[in-house]
Amino acid sequence: MAGQIDNLISVCSFHPEEELDHYCKTCERALCEECIKLDHRDHDWYKLKKVAQDIKDSASDKITEIINQEIPKIESNLKAIAEVEEKNKEAKTEKINRIKHRENELIAAVKVISDSLIKDVTESRFSEGEQHAKSEEDKNIASLQSLVAYYNENKQSLDGVAILRLQEKIRILLSRVRMHDPLRSEDHVDFDEGQIDIHSLERMFGLVVRESSQNLAVDIEGTTLTEQFNFQVTANPITSLSEKSLEQTWVYGRNDKEIKLCNTDGGVVRKFEFGDTVIRGFVRLDNGDIIIADGVNRVLSRWSNKDGDIKTLTNLSPFEPLGVALSHRKELLVGMKDRFNTRRIVQRMAINARVLHTYEYEEGHREWIKYYLFNSPDRVAENFNRDLCVVDSLSRNTGRLLIISEAGKLRVIYEGQNLGRMFKPSDVCCSKNSEIILGDPRNNAVHVLDKDGTFQRFLLTDCSYPSALRLTPNRILMGSENGSVHVFEYEESNQSNDE
């Protein structure tokens, strides 16, 4: 052991093949020949043996100082790290136990369903009264068979009186027995297998969520955009907005009872009020009419800009609309889920609500497993290459962006950057050069991706909880979770048409 340490302290840490045989008084450190040649040529250096006795005491003092001050810090740090690692181990064990417990709960739930189905198969299709009648008939048949057997065995010895009595008994029993069509006894029962949906199982099971430590987060620096103006609309998060003109913007806040047309200082120019409706989103058409996704009544409605009338465009039941957007061909793009949350779809519709295409799932590796594309397709935008960009919520705290080809093939899943907080995108829009712009309210940022879903840069940082986005010529509109709208200048070359 001593020999190993001797070898360790005698060689240079930077040039392991060289010995520490010089001392630099300028830097107060031992050197090798290579160190002198590279960095200490012009310093005051000597052969180590020549100055060793003179600097021995000061070197010993430095070692003692390190032992007394720095080593305890290192040891304390190592102890703290070990304690954290032990806590991590205990926490992971506890989480694994919870996962196992959840597994057992799901297996038990499946067993309950299985037992119920087996009971449905094995139970008689006959009512209690029908079963009682059948039981009585079975007794009569058994009695009849016994009398017939008795007669066959004893007919030679029976006298006339006994035969007449036996005949009467057989006649009565025959009157109580009906002849049935055997086909009526068939029990036409079948088992209609459901689809095994991996995403639904994952949603029921739960998610492993790892929130990044702040000290591991990437440095976030956004593009410098000039804010033209901002205004307050509501106390609720802005979920949808659309620019009518440079001075006026239609805005809706979550759980509000009206869509407002606001000017640049937040003044309400016009408003559309509604009753028992929860708006999941809206889009404005070229003629000024507004298409509304009504989550309560499960319909798409059309509000007339001309006379203020509202009419049902289409009934989506059993699906509930989660959002609505407009494609570049002026088609409606609607994200939906059914009331049991077993089906989640995006539909492309003509402006009259005729369904053109339904996006739901991709085929799995086995025919009986369906790989659904979406968990909760809250927002949809069409890129200029015809891809669909879908904001897909996974849980209350997490989400992702899906990029899907026009034909329905899942191309990319984007799950954010390592910014220290969980990633749950709020809204998406696309520029003319097919860049994808994505709101990230939990990290107060707006991400920019290329058409293939590769992160490019941050468009905005330190922005106040971006909950809704809209691109217009030369501007980007951002709705905030605090109920305000912010309007920024944005280069026209990077713009998409406002739908």
**What one-character-per-residue DSSP string does 404-418 give?**
E-TTS-EEEEE----
Q: 497 by DSSP, 3-state: which?
A: coil
Sort residue 478 into left (φ over 0), alpha (ψ -120 to 50) or beta: beta
How does pLDDT run across 306-350, given as a tens digit for each residue? 888 889 999 999 999 999 999 999 999 999 998 877 789 999 999
User: Which residue(s) pair with 349 in the sheet?
Assistant: 332, 355
User: Which residue(s) pair with 294 in the sheet?
Assistant: 279, 299
Secondary structure letter of residue 477 according to DSSP:
E
Q: What is the pLDDT of residue 441?
A: 94
Q: Residue 31 half-sphere exposure, CB side, CA atoms within 13 Å? A: 23
Phi, psi torsion values for 250, nearest 5 degrees: -80, 135
Secondary structure letter of residue 11 according to DSSP:
B
- Degrees, nearest 5: CA angle 25-26-28: 55
Q: Residue 307 half-sphere exposure, CB side, CA atoms within 13 Å? A: 3
Cα separations in angstroms, 490 against 448, 470, 474, 479: 13, 12, 5, 16
Q: What is the pLDDT of residue 143?
A: 81
Q: What is the pLDDT of residue 216?
A: 39
Phi, psi torsion values for 486, nearest 5 degrees: -120, 135
What is the 3-state secondary structure of 426-466?
A: CCEEECCCCCEEEEEHHHCEEEEECCCCCEEEEEEECCCCE
Alpha carbons 201 and 198: distance in angstroms, whole number: 5
How does pLDDT run across 169-219, given as a tens digit for each residue? 778 877 777 665 555 556 677 777 766 666 667 767 776 766 544 433 444
Q: What is the pLDDT of residue 365?
A: 44
Q: What is the pLDDT along the chain (499 residues), one digit of tens a residue?
A: 444 444 556 788 788 888 888 888 888 788 888 888 887 878 888 887 777 776 766 777 777 878 888 888 888 888 888 988 998 899 889 889 988 988 898 888 888 888 888 888 777 655 555 666 667 777 878 887 887 888 788 878 878 777 788 787 778 877 777 665 555 556 677 777 766 666 667 767 776 766 544 433 444 555 667 899 999 999 999 999 999 999 999 999 998 989 999 999 989 999 888 777 889 999 999 999 999 999 999 999 999 988 888 899 999 999 999 999 999 999 999 999 988 777 899 999 999 999 999 999 775 544 555 678 899 999 999 999 999 999 999 888 899 999 999 988 899 999 999 887 889 999 999 998 899 999 999 999 999 999 999 999 999 888 889 999 999 888 999 999 999 999 998 874 444 444 4
Q: 13 by DSSP, 3-state: which?
A: coil
Encoded tokens for 46:
């000597």
Alpha carbons 200 and 345: distance in angstroms, whole number: 13
- Degrees, nearest 5: CA angle 484-488-490: 150
Closest CA to 301 of 313, 309, 290, 289: 313
User: Which residue(s) pair with 346 in the sheet?
Assistant: 335, 359
